[in-house]
Amino acid sequence: MQHAASSALLVAGWHRMSYSFPDHSLISNELEELIRKLHAIVGNANTTGRFIVFGAGSIQLLNAAVHALSPHNSSAPAKVVATIPFYPVYKSQTDFFQSVDFQFVGDTSLWKNTSDTTSNLIEFVTAPNNPDGKLNKAVLQGPNAKPIYDHAYYWPHFTPIPAPADEDLMIFTFSKLTGHAGSRFGWALIKDKDVYETMSNYMSLNVDGVSRDTQLRAFKLLKVVTRGRGREIFEFGYKTMKDRWEKLNRALLMSRRFSVQESSPQYCTFSGKVKRPSPAYAWLKCEKEEDKECYRVLKKAGIIGRNGTLFSANSSYVRLSLIKTQDDFDILLHRINKLVGEENGGKSSMRRMKSTVS
């Protein structure tokens, strides 16, 4: 509830009633400029020579990108892949909207040495990855490889920023920047003019552009974010996420039953210093054979995560969200401590928990 006054918005009854902005476009130029400024401040993406398309969150832009990177009416429809573990929507969305031009075919590794040289291979590359926070890079190479970089989490509160992302097609979203998921606002940075035009067509024929009310709100909120060159929101976010990650790791330190992904400190160009990991999710593994239904093990202990199978991994993995409210996180930590305590004998772990949660 910080910045209540500056982030509030008064919308006049007659605001932006029309289909188009005065320049006949469906997107606000002022908002586009502010997005370029934000990336310049944060240093997380190179916007030079890139077109911008707005979408309803990143989700709509993912499918628009698949459309744009697929050949039209070819006898060889594009194959769409992602590297396990991956965000479930890549598969469910591509399956649901399966067109004559593209098809989801599973894990990237299966197509690394393919002899098929006629089909486009569209690879979802998520950096940092949801669920495991890795800064993935495209696996497939060559003229038919068409990566879509999903950078939803590439902000200084979730990862050190080693360098500006500089790929041909990059997707960002509001929901993981300010947390305003309900506004449904995202954008794509696109190098190729044809890809840009097809994605713009997609937006026109799908929804006639992003709601102008949403564009106005995004503008207002980004104005607040970029004030003071973004220091305030990103430092607050980093500190919160790093603290949670460290508390969770401390709780799991003595466990032989549960582990989480490893990650190391890295230099962050935005902060000008080495930063410790601060991921949005813990990709927790139940290490023991008898715990291979890890989701159930955790659920029994009052911890609700997302089953690894949703991410096309096996059931010994569970994704725990670290971006819920502080109360939710405190309860999660309490229950993790309790679980690990039972593993190691109740008394000592309870002491450790007390020193950790406060």
* Binding footprint of a second copy on the chain (CB under 8 A): 1, 3-4, 6-19, 55-57, 59-60, 63, 89, 92-93, 96-101, 175, 178-185, 201-202, 205-214, 217, 221, 224
Nearer to a second copy, 201 or 271 (CB): 201
Minimum CB separation of residue 126 from a second copy in Å reads: 17
Question: Pick from 346, 164, 184, 335: which is nearest to 248 by CA?
Answer: 335
Asked whether 189 and 63 are in contact (CB, 8 A), the reply is no
Buried b (16+ CB within 10 A) or exposed e, 123-133: bbbbbbbbbbb
Minimum CB separation of residue 240 from a second copy in Å reads: 16
Residue 282: both structure tokens together: 């813990």
Neighbouring-strand partners of residue 284: 318
Nearer to a second copy, 63 or 120 (CB): 63
Q: Which residues contact 54 (CB under 8 A, 6 or more apart)?
A: 26, 27, 31, 185, 186, 187, 203, 209, 210, 215
Nearer to a second copy, 4 or 253 (CB): 4
Minimum CB separation of residue 309 from a second copy in Å reads: 19
Nearer to a second copy, 6 or 141 (CB): 6
Minimum CB separation of residue 285 from a second copy in Å reads: 27
Query: DSSP code of 33?
Result: H
Buried b (16+ CB within 10 A) or exposed e, 38-57: bbbbbbbbbbeebbbbbbbb
Asked whether 278 and 238 are in contact (CB, 8 A), the reply is yes
C-alpha separations of 94 from 117, 247, 353 in Å: 22, 37, 44
Report how far Cα 107 is from the mean position of its chain's Cα atoms. 19
Minimum CB separation of residue 219 from a second copy in Å reads: 12
Minimum CB separation of residue 98 from a second copy in Å reads: 6
Minimum CB separation of residue 68 from a second copy in Å reads: 11
Distance (Å, whole) CA 221 – CA 238: 19
Nearer to a second copy, 219 or 283 (CB): 219
Minimum CB separation of residue 185 from a second copy in Å reads: 8
Buried b (16+ CB within 10 A) or exposed e, 161-195: beebbebebbbbbbbbbbebeebbbbbbbbbbeeb
Nearer to a second copy, 18 or 264 (CB): 18
Nearer to a second copy, 19 or 236 (CB): 19
Distance (Å, whole) CA 119 – CA 122: 9
Nearer to a second copy, 114 or 206 (CB): 206
| Residue 323 neighbours by CB distance under 10 Å | 19
Nearer to a second copy, 90 or 270 (CB): 90
Minimum CB separation of residue 164 from a second copy in Å reads: 28
Angle between helices 57-69 and 89-96 (to 10 degrees): 60
